[in-house]
Amino acid sequence: MILRELEKLLHCKIATTSDLSLIRNNINRPSEDVVEYDRLPTPFETLLHQELKARFGDISPFEKLFQESKKISAELGRWASDMFWSFSLAEEQARKIEMREERKFHAQKEGNPIAKLDAQIARLREAAQVIKDYSFSTPEANSRDLSSKVLVLHKWLQLYFSRQSDARCIVFVERRSTARLLHLIFGYLGGAHLKSGVLMGVNSSVGDLTITLRKQVLAVASFRKGDLNCIFATSVAEEGLDIPQCNLIVRFDLYRTMISYVQSRGRARHRNSKYLHMVEKGNPMHTQAVLEARRSEKLMRQFCQSLPADRLLLGNDVDFENDMVKERGFRTFTDPSTGAKLTYSSSLAVLAHFISSLPQGNEVPLQPNYIMSIEAGKFVCEVILPDNSPINSAIGRPASKKSVAKCSAAFEACILLRKGKYLDGNLLPIYTKQLPVMRNAILALDMKKKNFYRMRIKPSVWAYGRGDLPVTLYLTILDVTNGLERPYQPMGLLTRVPLPQMPRFPVYLREGKVTEVKSMSFGSGFDVSGDMIEHLTTLTLRAYKDIFAKTYEHDPTKLSYWFAPLRDPKTVVMEGYESPADFINWSVVQDVFETEEYKWTPDMKHEYLRYRFLVDKWDGGRRFFSVEVAPDMKAMDPLPAHSEKYKKFNDSILDYSVSLWNKSRKNYSWDLSQPVVEAERVPFRRNLLAPAEEKEHDGKIRCFVCPEPLRISAVSQL
C-alpha cells in the first residue's frame, strides 16, 4: 500500500528486473547470526576527561568533543574514550580549531581586543600540549579497558584471524570516530594475522580524520589484494564494494534502513559467508530493527514479484540509450591504422573482453570494479582493474547520470590500454584466454595447506656450503652480445658449486637499449686459499657499496657467490690455461683489496681522471662516470647552462660537487685550483632485467664536477 502511494506522490512507476536472480548477481546469500553483547553502561567521564573538563571545559570548540568522548566511553570503553582525544587534538586538528576561532573572531562586527584572541589561542595550545604529554596505555582485552561490545567483536575476529587464512572481513559502523578507534584497538589486539584498515567518506571537519578519494581507492585495492584483510567502514562501503574473497560481514552498529541491511549483506561475496547482527541484550529496539529489516526485505520481494509484465526491465539499464542521447560532449576514438571506433557505449564491452582475457591464477572470475562518487553535483566514476592488469585504474569525466559516468571510466581505461598497446588496432586484447594448466588434475596440496609444509624460496645451489669457507670455487664467465654503454671487461661469477649452463637473457639499458647476457660455466673448479677468499669478498662487497649503494656484513662464510674481473678470454685461450683461475685478473683483485678508494691530489695526472667511477661521499645516490678533464674550466666557474642542477647548491661547479648542507660545508675547505671533469651522472637503477620506466628515459645526464669532494672508486678498474 505504501509503495502504491509513493508512486502516486512522485508521479512515477516502480519497475524491477525480469529475472529476480539478477538482483542477487548470482551471489550466494550468507548465513546470518544474531550476536548479543552485555548491556552497555551509562556514558561516564574518564579521569582524563574530568581533568580536561576542569581546565578547559569553558572553551566552546571543545563542547562537541566532550560529548563525543563521553558517548565513546560506553560504546567502546575507557581506553577508546581517552584515545579519542589523542587524534582530536593532534597537531593538524588543533591547528584547524585555531584557524576556525580566528575566522570567527575576525568576523565579529564588534571590535574585541586582539589580546582576547591571543589568550584563547594560548589555551587551545595548552590543551593540545596536555594531550601530547599524556601517556596513553596499551589496551587489553578486558572489561576495564574495553566495552562488552568490543570484546564480543574481538572474540569473533579471533575465530577468523588467530591463524593465517584467506578470510576477509568488513565491520560496519555508524560513525567515523568508531571506525578509527576500532582500527587502533585491533592494531594492538588483532594479532599478527589481522591487518586492518579504515574506509570512510571524505570529511574535513574539526577533530576528524581527512580521507581523500585516492586513499579510499588505495584501501579498497589493498583489501582486494590481501594486504589488508579487515576493514572498519562506514556506510560508504555498503554499495559497490565487490571483493570475491570477503566472507565475514559484521554490523557493529545496526543499519537504519532495509536498504542499508541488504546492501551491506551483499558485500559478503564468498560462497561460505557469515553476516553478524550485533544487538544489545534486553534492548527491544535492536531486536525490532533486525526483525523489521528482514520483514521489509520480504515485502519488497513479494511486491516485485507481483508487478505486471510491463514493469519488468529486459536490460541492465533501460534508460541507457536515453541517457546517452541527453548527455553532451562525449568523445570517440578511431584507431588510425584500422579505423576501429571506440565509443562510450562500446567501451564497457571492450573493457570486459580485455579483462576476461587476462591470465587467471585462481577460481575467482576477474571483473572490473566501478566506484562512484559525487563531485560538484555530478557523478564521477573510477574503474579498478584486476591486479594482473597492466593498467590499474582510470577515472572518467563528470556526468549527470551514473550510467554515463560508468561508461566514461571504461572509455578512459580503454584509451590507456590502447596507448600502452595492450589493445591492438581492432581494440582486441593482445592476450589470449588460456585455461589453467592441469585443470583436470586432482592436486594433493591446495593453497590453504601450503603453510603446513616447508617451502623453498631460493634454489638449493645458493644454500650449498654456506656457513663454511669454501676450498673450491667454480667459474662462470659472463659477457654481453651487443656491448654496454661504456668500455668494459668480462665479469666472472664464482660459486661454491658449478652453475648449470644458463640460456641468454636480456639486460635493459638506458634509452630503451637492450643487450643479452651470455654465460659459460666451467664444470671443473679450482682451489682457493683463505687470502684469496678474503680478497674476492672485499671486491664483491665494494662493488655492491659503490655501484648499488648497498652495504653488507663482511662475512665470507655467508656468501653464496663472488664477483671477479677477468682477463680477455681470447688471450687466455691463446696462451693456454691449466685452470679456470687463469681467467681471473688477480692483479686487479689485489689492487681493489688494498685500496678502498682513490683521493684526488694536486700531482694526480689528468689522464688518470678519465673513465673513472666517482661516488658522492655524502649522497650515495649521486654517482658519476668521468669522461675527461675540461682544461678550459675552473672550479669556481658557474655551471654551464646545459649541465644538471642539484638541490640549491648550483652557484659554481665546486658548489654543485659538494652535497653537504650549509652548516657542514663550513667544516671543509677545498683546493680551488683543482681541475674540472666532464662526467655523466649514472641513473640509480637496480633492476636491469625490466625495461626502464618512462621517467628513466632521460638519455645521458651531462654534468661537470670537481674530483676532490668525490670518492674515486677502486671498482673503476672492473
Record the cell numbers describing residue 573, joined without a space.
685461450
Which runs of consecutive H residues, i.e. helices, occur in 134-247? 148-161, 176-189, 213-225
Enumerate the β-bridge partners of residue 276: 33, 250
pLDDT of residue 79: 93
What residues contact 238, with CB distance under 8 A and at least 6 apart? 172, 260, 263, 264, 267
The DSSP code for 419 is H
pLDDT of residue 536: 94
The region of weakest confidence among 294-303, 557-566, 568-577 is: 568-577
- pLDDT at 682 > cutoff 50: yes
pLDDT of residue 538: 93
pLDDT of residue 403: 85
Output the CA angle 321-327-331, nearest 5 degrees: 95
The region of weakest confidence among 188-202, 223-237, 354-368, 676-690 is: 354-368
Q: Identify the structural domains of the chain with CATH numbers, from first to last.
A: 47-133 (no CATH), 150-305 (3.40.50.300), 320-419 (3.30.160.20), 461-594 (no CATH), 597-717 (2.170.260)
Element (H, E) at 521: strand 514-521
- pLDDT at 263 > cutoff 70: yes
For residues 631 and 208, the model is more confident at 631
**pTM of the predicted structure, to 2 decimals:** 0.47
- pLDDT at 209 > cutoff 60: no
- pLDDT at 706 > cutoff 90: yes
Q: What are the C-alpha distances in Å from 675 to residues 605, 640, 666? A: 10, 15, 22
The region of weakest confidence among 87-96, 223-232, 439-448, 631-640 is: 439-448
pLDDT of residue 630: 92
Q: What is the distance between the alpha carbons of residues 571 and 583, in angstroms, rounded to a whole number?
A: 9
Q: What is the mean pLDDT of residues 602-616?
A: 89
pLDDT of residue 43: 92
Residue 217, CB-side half-sphere exposure with 13 Å CA sphere:
17
Dump pLDDT digits (tens) for 66-107.
899 999 999 999 999 999 988 777 756 666 676 776 676 666
Q: What Rg do the C-alpha atoms of the chain give, in angstroms?
A: 34
For residues 461 and 607, the model is more confident at 607
Q: What is the distance between the alpha carbons of residues 705 and 628, in angstroms, rounded to a whole number?
A: 11
Q: For strand 274-280 and strand 246-251, is the pairing parallel, antiparallel, or unpaired?
A: parallel
For residues 433 and 4, the model is more confident at 4
The region of weakest confidence among 270-274, 672-676, 709-713 is: 270-274
Contact 80, 181 (CB under 8 A): yes
For residues 478 and 359, the model is more confident at 478
CA proximity to 128, closest of 86, 99, 96, 100 = 86
Q: What is the mean pLDDT of residues 611-628?
A: 86
pLDDT of residue 151: 95
Q: What is the distance between the alpha carbons of residues 459 and 465, in angstroms, rounded to a whole number?
A: 13
Most confident of 31-40, 53-62, 259-268, 658-667: 31-40
- pLDDT at 362 > cutoff 50: no
CA proximity to 522, closest of 458, 469, 574, 572 = 572
- pLDDT at 317 > cutoff 60: no
The region of weakest confidence among 36-40, 395-399, 512-516 is: 512-516
Element (H, E) at 371: strand 369-375
Q: How confident is the model at residue 308 (pLDDT cuts 50, 70, 90)?
A: confident
Q: What is the mean pLDDT of residues 363-386?
A: 80
Q: What is the distance between the alpha carbons of residues 616 and 618, in angstroms, rounded to a whole number?
A: 6
- pLDDT at 22 > cutoff 50: no
For residues 122 and 679, the model is more confident at 679
Q: What is the mean pLDDT of residues 41-52?
A: 91
pLDDT of residue 91: 59
Task: Give the amino acid at 442.
Answer: I
Dump pLDDT digits (tens) for 479-494.
887 777 777 778 899 9
Q: Round to the nearest angstrom and report the end-to-end CA distance of the chain.
A: 87
- pLDDT at 137 > cutoff 90: no
Q: What is the distance between the alpha carbons of residues 171 and 246, in angstroms, rounded to a whole number?
A: 11
pLDDT of residue 275: 93
- pLDDT at 495 > cutoff 80: yes
pLDDT of residue 456: 64
Most confident of 190-204, 211-225, 295-309, 583-597: 583-597
pLDDT of residue 363: 45
Q: How confident is the model at residue 290 (pLDDT cuts 50, 70, 90)?
A: very high
| Average pLDDT over the chain, rounded to an integer | 81
Q: Output phi, psi for 692, to 5 deg.
A: -65, 140
- pLDDT at 448 > cutoff 80: no
Percent of the chain predicted with pLDDT > 70: 82
Residue owning grid cell 559525487: 374
pLDDT of residue 207: 46
Q: How confident is the model at residue 230 (pLDDT cuts 50, 70, 90)?
A: very high
pLDDT of residue 57: 83
The DSSP code for 20 is T
- pLDDT at 187 > cutoff 70: yes
